[in-house]
């Protein structure tokens, strides 16, 4: 497990509201290896951003409760860190890129100073060195005329350029983990592609692990090594990119993929939306949170929330359809087929791992 | 920048001209005469006086004469005091008003800022509730109530400071304090809501995500951005408080401009009314201009050069 740089286990996050505590994240588990990209996908309100912000402990202290769970960074539980210790991790070991570049830079501070702040906080540089490094970072994220641009203010940049600056700030101290919270949602499509390419390029150069939070499956397909699908504050399925896209095992993942337009499909084929809307986290029962919208619901689904079933070494699903007591004829064909191919793939992987020629 | 300054100056002159005209015409509508013993004057005495002060001419001529003198910097003579120019009267009276106003303003702004900032940082705690209560009380209770309370407790009961009159520096403290109450309340409420707004901004989260400590985030990112709008509010507040407030000056017996202004309206001292109105307006226009320039310096998004830069 030592190549896991970040491990989140059984994380619960609730918010205090006037109507009592509302759980936003309910037992999230995932881990991140060095240099890999994990995409966390899900609808609005599924707990993606809350999970990300709780890693950095950027949620408002007054109304956030983290009743249980661990966030281990290099083996140490960040939730047990003091305020000072967390501040020394933020920006230097783990940093974050936010959704809206129009609002995530201070409008009255020069770009250069905003980059240098983190540098002088974490890297013990002189002002001159920090400025030099800030200039390098601007060049690295593809901002022309970097030296002069250090003295520009955010309003003198376009949205895409600002997001480059935000990325420069985030990567200035060579963090090991970059959390990107919907980094391209606020940008138009051509700029999206540029920013994603930039992030991938920098990841290779700096060997940063990325947690990419998004609801855009196209972005996921472009960027991710592994995917965690979140629904109602839980990770309902996770696996490698191929597993999630070609052999989805959770009806929700399946629904997400079906609702995505596909260029290869015949033009007459309609998109299939997921009926209903996500549950209100304040009134969740004991059953599977997706039960109300799931086309394959069984009696058990409404009363008991399933545990994880490992489908392969890398894929795990939270669904009763995976339970061995579920009669085979009840499991829809797509899911059954996916399971078989994944077995074949697993066999193939085992053979490959053994280094042998198939017998 | 130069073009902007010239433009602003031209606007200022036009605005002043309009104010002078309006005040002049409105004054003519007031009933009565500037003569305290008007009933006792005979027709011929009245005619001599009118001729002396130029009141016998048609309003249009009077107006043109006034404007003509004004352009040469002459505000004319007072009606109530023999041979005193309006200039010298304003000069004598503005000192005390400006002094207590300035003291009240500086003290009030500092206390207000501290109160408001602490209250925003301790949002929804006892500290916040206490300071909001102070602010609401300060806004809603008239300043003469505070003036009376200060006089009674500090002046009479404790005897620390003079109750009234204008004798030495000590006499300036109580009126300044009484004036500062409104300033404290206004500034505290304003900065508190600005701070709360800025604290919720994404760039504050960005600053925290960089690993800055909380005081670094507050000083470098929050307070600066929250202060910008306060500057706008402070300008007009400064003018109204430094040019003298009638009530406070009356209560403490301060020989200030506010008192003089009210008196001159009561006795229809035309030229003094005009002079003081003009002074208020000019100061106001000037302060608004200073605020605009300051705004441009504080907020890089505002470009006074007239949008020639991308």
Q: What is the pLDDT of residues B122-164, one digit of tens each?
A: 888 898 999 899 889 888 888 888 888 888 887 778 877 777 7
pLDDT at A350: 63
Round the average pLDDT of chain A to a whole number and report it. 87
Please write the tens of the pLDDT for every residue from B249-307.
Answer: 888 888 888 888 888 888 888 888 888 888 888 888 888 888 888 888 888 888 776 54
B124 touches chain A (CB under 8 A): yes
This prediction has a pTM of 0.80
Q: Is B202 close to A104, i.e. CB distance below 8 A? A: yes
Q: What is the pLDDT of residue A25?
A: 92
- Regarding an ipTM greater than 0.85, the answer is no
Chain A interface includes B299 (CB < 8 A): yes
Q: How far A62 CA sits from the closest chain B CA (Å)?
A: 10
Segment holding A24, helix H or strand E: strand A20-33
Q: Is A85 helix (H, G, I), strand (E, B) or coil?
A: helix
Residues of A in contact with B302 (CB under 8 A): none
Cβ separation A58–B213 shorter than 8 A: no
Distance between CA atoms of residues B187 and A280, nearest Å: 41
What pLDDT digit, counting tens, does each position of A281-298 carry? 888 888 899 988 888 888
Neighboring chain A residues of B207 at a CB cutoff of 8 Å = 106, 117
The beta-carbon neighbor of B209 closest among A91, A109, A153 is A91
| Candidate from A62, A87, A98 with C-beta closest to B206 | A98
Nearest CA to CA, how far is A28 from chain B (Å)? 22
CA of A153 vs chain B CAs: smallest distance (Å) = 7
Among B209, B227, B305, pick the best mutation site for testing chain A contact (most A Cβ within 10 A).
B209
Q: How many residues does chain B have?
A: 310
Q: How far is CA B73 from the centre of its chain?
A: 23
What confidence score (pLDDT) does residue A115 get?
93
Q: pLDDT of B188-244, one tens digit each?
A: 999 999 999 999 899 999 999 998 988 889 998 999 899 888 888 888 888 777 766
pLDDT of res. B307: 47
Asked if residue A176 lies in contact with residue A93, where contact means CB atoms within 8 angstroms, the answer is yes
B125 touches chain A (CB under 8 A): no
* Subunit contact B209:A106, Cβ cutoff 8 A: no
**How high is the pLDDT of residue A104?**
92
B298 with A109: Cβ contact below 8 A: no
The confidence score (pLDDT) of residue B244 equals: 61
Indicate whether A302 pLDDT > 70: yes
For chain B, which residues make up each domain, given as ranges? 94-260
pLDDT at A351: 63
Using 50, 70 and 90 to split pLDDT, how confident is the model at A51?
A: very high
Quick one: pLDDT at residue B233? 85
The verdict on B245 touching A (C-beta cutoff 8 Å) is no
Q: How confident is the model at residue A271 (pLDDT cuts 50, 70, 90)?
A: confident
The fold adopted by the segment(s) B94-260 is MetI-like fold (1.10.3720)
* pLDDT tens profile A84-109: 999 999 989 999 998 888 899 999 99
The average pLDDT across A192-218 equals: 89
Using 50, 70 and 90 to split pLDDT, how confident is the model at A275? confident
In this predicted structure, the answer to whether residue A358 has a pLDDT above a threshold of 50 is: no
A250, A219, A245, A217: which is closest to A318 by C-alpha?
A250
Task: Report pLDDT for A72.
Answer: 93
Residue B310 has pLDDT above 50, yes or no: no
- Alpha carbon separation from A226 to A91, A311, A314, A336 (Å, rounded): 24, 15, 9, 21
C-beta atoms of A90 and B209 within 8 A: yes
Q: What mean pLDDT do residues A334-341 have?
A: 78
Task: Return the residue in A62, A64, A117, A183 with the most chain B beta carbons within 10 A, the one to mutate for interface testing.
Answer: A117
d(CA B19, CA B277): 8
Asked if residue A28 lies in contact with residue A235, where contact means CB atoms within 8 angstroms, the answer is yes
């Amino acid at each position: 497990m030592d190549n896991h740089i970040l491990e989140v286990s059984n994380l619960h996050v609730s918010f205090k509201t006037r109507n009592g505590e509302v759980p936003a994240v309910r037992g999230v588990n995932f881990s991140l290896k060095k240099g890999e990209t994990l995409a966390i996908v899900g609808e609005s309100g599924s707990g993606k951003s809350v999970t990300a912000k709780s890693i950095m402990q950027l949620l408002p202290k007054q109304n956030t409760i983290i009743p249980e769970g661990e966030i281990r960074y290099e083996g140490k539980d960040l939730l047990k860190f003091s305020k000072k210790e967390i501040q020394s991790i933020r920006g230097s070991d783990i940093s974050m890129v936010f959704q809206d570049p129009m609002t995530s830079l201070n409008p009255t501070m020069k770009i250069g100073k905003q980059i240098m702040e983190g540098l002088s906080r974490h890297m013990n540089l002189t002002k001159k060195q920090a400025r030099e490094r800030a200039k390098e970072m601007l060049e690295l994220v593809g901002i022309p005329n970097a030296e002069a641009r250090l003295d520009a203010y955010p309003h003198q940049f376009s949205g895409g350029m600002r997001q480059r600056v935000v990325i420069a700030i985030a990567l200035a101290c060579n963090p090991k983990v970059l959390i990107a919270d919907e980094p391209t949602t606020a940008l138009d499509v051509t700029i999206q592609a540029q920013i994603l390419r930039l992030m991938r390029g920098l990841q290779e150069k700096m060997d940063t692990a990325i947690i990419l939070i998004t609801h855009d499956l196209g972005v996921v397909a472009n960027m991710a090594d592994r995917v965690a699908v979140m629904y109602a504050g839980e990770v309902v399925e996770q696996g490698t990119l191929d597993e999630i896209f070609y052999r989805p095992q959770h009806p929700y993942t399946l629904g997400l993929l079906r609702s995505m337009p596909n260029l290869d499909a015949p033009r007459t084929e309609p998109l299939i939306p997921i009926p209903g809307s996500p549950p209100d986290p304040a009134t969740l029962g004991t059953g599977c949170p997706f039960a109300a919208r799931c086309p394959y619901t069984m009696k058990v689904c409404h009363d008991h929330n399933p545990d994880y079933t490992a489908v392969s070494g890398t894929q795990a699903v939270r669904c009763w359809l995976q339970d061995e007591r579920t009669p085979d004829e009840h499991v829809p064909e797509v899911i059954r087929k996916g399971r078989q191919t994944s077995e074949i793939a697993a066999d193939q992987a085992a053979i490959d791992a053994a280094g042998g020629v198939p017998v | 920048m130069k073009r902007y300054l010239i433009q602003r100056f031209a606007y200022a002159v036009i605005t002043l001209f309009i104010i002078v005209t309006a005040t002049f015409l409105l004054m003519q509508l007031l009933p009565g005469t500037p003569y305290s013993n008007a009933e006792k004057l005979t027709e011929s005495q009245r005619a001599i006086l009118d001729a002396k002060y130029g009141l016998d001419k048609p309003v249009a001529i009077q107006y043109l004469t006034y404007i003509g003198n004004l352009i040469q910097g002459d505000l004319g003579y007072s009606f109530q005091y023999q041979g005193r120019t309006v200039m010298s009267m304003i000069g004598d009276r503005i000192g005390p008003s400006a002094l207590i106003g300035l003291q009240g303003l500086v003290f009030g702004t500092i206390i207000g800022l501290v109160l408001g900032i602490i209250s925003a940082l301790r949002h929804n705690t006892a500290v916040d509730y206490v300071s909001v209560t102070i602010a609401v009380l300060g806004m809603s209770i008239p300043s003469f109530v505070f003036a009376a309370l200060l006089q009674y407790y500090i002046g009479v009961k404790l005897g620390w400071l003079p109750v009234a009159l204008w004798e030495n520096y000590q006499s300036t403290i109580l009126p300044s304090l009484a004036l500062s109450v409104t300033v404290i309340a206004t500034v505290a409420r304003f900065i508190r809501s600005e701070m709360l707004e800025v604290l919720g901004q994404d760039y504050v989260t960005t600053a925290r995500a960089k690993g800055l400590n909380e005081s670094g985030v507050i000083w470098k990112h929050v307070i600066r951005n929250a202060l910008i709008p306060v500057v706008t509010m402070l300008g007009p507040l400064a003018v109204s408080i430094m040019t003298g407030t009638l009530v406070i000056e009356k209560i403490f017996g301060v020989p200030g401009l506010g008192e003089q202004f009210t008196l001159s309206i009561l006795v229809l001292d035309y030229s003094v009314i005009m002079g003081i109105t003009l002074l208020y307006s000019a100061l106001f226009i000037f302060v608004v201009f200073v605020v605009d320039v300051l705004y441009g310096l504080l907020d890089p998004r505002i470009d006074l050069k007239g949008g020639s830069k991308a």
